[in-house]
Structure 1
Amino acid sequence: MKIIKKAKERTAEDNRRLRGTVAEIIDNVCENGDAALKEYSARFDGYVREELRVSRREIEEAYSRISEQELQDLKEARKNIEAFARAQRESMSEVKDFSPAPGIFLGHRIIPVSSCCCYVPGGSYPLYSTALMLITPARVAGVRRIVACSPAVHGTGSIHYKTLVAMDLAGADEIYAVGGAQAIAAFAYGTEQIRPVDMIVGPGNKFVAEAKRQCYGQIGIDFIAGPSEVLVIADGQADPEVLAADLLAQCEHDPNAKGFLLATEESLANRVIEAVGRELESLKTAGIARQSWEDYGEVVVVDSLKEAVDVANEYAPEHLEVNLENPDQIIGKLENYGSLFVGGNTAEVFGDYASGTNHTLPTVRASRYTGGVWVGTFLKVCTDQRMTAEASGKIAPLVSRMARGEGLEGHAVAAEKRLR
């Protein structure tokens, strides 16, 4: 393995200060409710809304501002996301009356959570695609109360009109103009205007991520997300201009985002670096993308595809692209990724918006133990069992012996009461 471009080491953030700041915000919201939310809106958003919930009139006004083409684009993207979510839901089946022994009947039901909040970031860009990605699978799962929230555009008190339309199209029951760690606290614990939910999903900045971490247990979450990342495995047939574009598409998200290329040929690696430089000359988001690429962009030449697979599995990226002449030779060996994009025709950005898979994915190596948001995120698999008198009497001695072996006398007695 030869490193052509090395990323700088990520310095540890002042996590203690971050934890303390977020804890203060959560405590303030719990103690002061809506007053705290309005305080933070004035400080961070430059505007205070008296009514945090977005009205139907505001939603209709958003529809009046969106172009017909933009509306059709949202509808087409939603259609693909919904179709795949339904296919995923149909792949999950309930178990009824499975019998491991005569007279014992086991099963499980698949039950949607009762309520969820879909957090849609609204910082540097209006991420209306995230509204589709979160609300649509929740709706397919059958969640009865789907709440959406997003920060207001600074100084306006209003959520960006495209985001608002996307939230409504996807099927949100309630929409609130509130964001940041304070929004997570509000939907976890409730305020005068906000009823709490059972689960919060969606990406956000480090304050949102830390608030989700601290509120976990009070509510369920999807996962803790960090800066966006893409890892690309490519050989000599790949187009350097395409690879450069895919890397910079991630870099423009955030100065801390990461683009990582594993090339099988050094000449390809150098051509991609040159192509990145050319694209940065004209890219409108070059201010962010250049900093991300210079600080965290990485280019490595691997000695073999096996080495590429090993590096990818160890890195466990959010997005993994395989741009090889014969990608199938390694697909089955790749185990840790949020979402996989196979072949040069399959741009990662297609999954970001409209192909149908979800773009809310695990980062910072979390794909070692979880996948991204999907319809199953909003579903609980809950077991049940029933027994005949004969089966109860037969299993009771076994359970009694095991319980006494653990020193749990009450457990043993509860089993022995079933002996006939």
Structure 2
Amino acid sequence: MVRRLKSIEDTAAKNAASIDVSKIVKGVIDEVRANGDAAVRQYSQQFDQWSPPSFKLSQQQIDEIIASVDPQIIADIKEVQLNVRRFAEAQKESLREFELEIQPGVFLGQKNNPIAKVGCYIPGGRYPLLASAHMTILTAKVAGVPHVIACTPPIAGQLPAASISAMHLAGADEILILGGVQAIAAMAVGTETVAKVDFLAGPGNAFVAEAKRQMFGQCGIDLFAGPTEVLVVADEHADPYMCAVDLLSQCEHGPDTPAQLITNSEKVGQETIRCIDELLKVLPTAPVASVSWKALGEVIIGDSMDEVYQIADEYASEHVQILTQNPREALTKMTNYGAIFLGKNTCVSYGDKVCAPSSFFSETTSD
């Protein structure tokens, strides 16, 4: 029998924003379509208080910014991007071209043609998500895309140096310090100074996601992205503190992050809740993570691990972490997930940001 130690708040599903996101986004896109650079500058000033002489960084500016970044951060970026490149190259190799004669005189085939021009959006907001540069820009270049335009917003009026470094090292051909709907609209419809792209990739807030949705059909997009998701499967041997940390490491992404722990052990469930409560007293990301956990966090107890796996498969979460004595068992017990992370040394944040498989140019299940 399934028991719930913590459930989603009844009000969580009703807390839709009162702001008409669709209407606001349409207005910005229409203005950019009609007035080009002038509209982009107007909205950048309005939303980000940002109106430099040029949104596009020169090579000299990029060099100076990279020189200002801690060498260890640059080394870390390069190491991660090496992993991403290797995995992306292996993925590309698996998509082989072929031609066959299925009937006498009837030839069919498959050919991989890179997209000519791609626009990549690298979010800023509360925390710079420079890993998005690896996931979008670098994978596009591995795929053979000849020209990548990359946009990222300023953060509190400052240049996001680490993100810019990652964007350059990933291979961006143009880097624009430009955020929000105005960045998506500029790349999607084209302006006097921003070339129109054929494809948009990268995550963002509700406004960015809606802008991509509205541009779908006029240019390609990677996917309709929603909030990140995390689901931890744990048995009675799991460390509750580790369960708590790994759940909160995704909850900090935003106030609308679903997070579930599914276990066969009531003790692990109760201790995980206790650890989360303690961590939320000290974590610097608690103001965001606590909102998600309170509204969208769940702790579910199954009678057996078979039942636990069944429940987890029903959720079909974006990220599934397996904290059990035999983690590889999940590969035969589960089929519904975006990415699966096996064992205590494969937290979702490490797998997403360092190991390499998580990419917006890949729908491949990875472990």
RMSD: 1.8
Q: In structure 2, do the counterparts of structure 1 residues 273 and 53 end up closer, same or farther at CA, with 3 Å as the change threshold?
A: same
- The answer to whether the Cα contact below 8 Å between 2:246 and 2:347 also exists between their aligned partners in 1 is yes
Residue 228 (structure 1) aligns with: 228
- The answer to whether the Cα contact below 8 Å between 1:337 and 1:371 also exists between their aligned partners in 2 is no
Give runs of aligned pairs for residues 23-62 of structure 1, distance below 5 A: 23-62=26-65
Matched, 1:128 2:112: no
Residue 145 (structure 2) aligns with: 143
Residue 103 (structure 2) aligns with: 101
Q: In structure 2, do the counterparts of structure 1 residues 119 and 84 end up closer, same or farther at CA, with 3 Å as the change threshold?
A: same
SS in 1 for 2:238: coil
Residue 169 (structure 2) aligns with: 169
SS in 1 for 2:113: strand
Q: Deviations over 1:277-321 (max 9, x none)?
A: 122222111111112211111101012333323322222211111
Cα drift, residue 12 of structure 1: 5.9
Q: After TM superposition, where is structure 1 displaced by more than 6 Å over at least 4 residues in a row?
A: none
Give runs of aligned pairs for residues 260-271 of structure 1, distance below 5 A: 260-271=260-271
Q: Distance in 2 between matches of 1:161 and 1:347?
A: 26
Cα drift, residue 100 of structure 1: 1.4
Q: Distance in 2 between matches of 1:53 and 1:37?
A: 13
Q: Distance in 1 between matches of 2:144 and 2:186?
A: 23
- The answer to whether the Cα contact below 8 Å between 1:233 and 1:322 also exists between their aligned partners in 2 is yes
For normalisation by structure 2, the TM-score amounts to 0.94
Residue 5 (structure 2) aligns with: 4
- Residue among 92, 99, 116 paired with 1:114: 116
Please say which of residues 287-296 and 26-35 is displaced more in the overlay: 287-296
- The answer to whether the Cα contact below 8 Å between 1:120 and 1:150 also exists between their aligned partners in 2 is yes
Q: Distance in 1 between matches of 2:6 and 2:238?
A: 19
- Residue among 153, 156, 179 paired with 2:155: 153
Residue 414 (structure 1) aligns with: none
SS in 2 for 1:110: coil
Please say which of residues 173-182 and 45-54 is displaced more in the overlay: 45-54
Give runs of aligned pairs for residues 318-333 of structure 1, distance below 5 A: 318-333=318-333
Q: Distance in 2 between matches of 1:330 and 1:174?
A: 42
Q: Distance in 2 between matches of 1:350 and 1:14?
A: 31
Residue 67 (structure 1) aligns with: 70
Q: Distance in 2 between matches of 1:50 and 1:179?
A: 16
Q: In structure 2, do the counterparts of structure 1 residues 76 and 340 end up closer, same or farther at CA, with 3 Å as the change threshold?
A: same
Q: Distance in 2 between matches of 1:373 and 1:46?
A: 40
Q: Distance in 1 between matches of 2:343 and 2:56?
A: 44
SS in 2 for 1:200: strand
Please say which of residues 5-14 and 182-191 is displaced more in the overlay: 5-14
Matched, 1:81 2:73: no
Q: Distance in 1 between matches of 2:25 and 2:50?
A: 21
- The answer to whether the Cα contact below 8 Å between 1:360 and 1:372 also exists between their aligned partners in 2 is no
Residue 284 (structure 2) aligns with: 284
SS in 2 for 1:30: helix
SS in 1 for 2:103: coil
Cα drift, residue 151 of structure 1: 0.8
- The answer to whether the Cα contact below 8 Å between 2:338 and 2:365 also exists between their aligned partners in 1 is no
Please say which of residues 200-209 and 298-307 is displaced more in the overlay: 298-307
The count of corresponding residues between Structure 1 and Structure 2 is: 363
Q: Distance in 1 between matches of 2:365 and 2:187?
A: 19
Task: Give the aligned residue type for 2:139.
Answer: P
Cα drift, residue 189 of structure 1: 0.6
Task: Give the aligned residue type for 1:169.
Answer: L
Which runs of 5 or more residues in structure 2 are unaligned? none
Cα drift, residue 15 of structure 1: 8.1
Cα drift, residue 154 of structure 1: 2.7
Q: Distance in 1 between matches of 2:301 and 2:94?
A: 39
Residue 357 (structure 1) aligns with: 357
Which runs of 5 or more residues in structure 1 are unaligned? 362-369, 375-420
Once the two structures are aligned, what percentage of the paired residues are identical?
Answer: 41
